[in-house]
Amino acid sequence: DIAGNISQTEVITVNSSNIAPSFSVSCDINATGLVSNESPILSYPAFLSDLSVGPENEQNQTYTLDVEIAINGDPSSVITNLEINHDGDLTLEINSASNGVATLIATMQDSGDGNNTTQHQFNVYHFEDLSLDPGLPIDIIFINGMDICR
């Protein structure tokens, strides 16, 4: 310019980011003694809770929830059917004659680009035959990192 000042233009590129959604899983589930052939359905309202698509600037995003049996996660066919709704309510149909553990994976995906999926794993236990370890109370058998829902 005329006064002898030097000017310079710089281009700054700002890339948008997407924070992964988040949620909490209530607990592992011990279905032992809670189901029968006549009544194999268990329901857990708000089993997936604290559902969030991210910070305030991402609240316009939508999300989906899914729960599925992990690969090789139910070798004894503990679960015959499962459903999760948009509010995180979980419904399970348990094989009342089963003995074993089903490993499930809950997934939340938001509609943003990039980092948009979060997963948590949990277990469903059912032992029709308690003679597998008759010396221990049933809740002691299932101690792991999560609380147990009954």
pTM: 0.77
Cβ-contact 19, 114 below 8 angstroms: no
Q: Which tens digit of pLDDT belongs to each residue from 83-125?
A: 999 999 999 999 988 888 899 999 999 998 877 999 999 988 8
Distance (Å, whole) CA 51 – CA 64: 10
The angle at the Cα of 86, spanning 85 to 90, to the nearest 5 degrees, equals 30
Apex 147 CA angle, 130 and 74, nearest 5 = 55
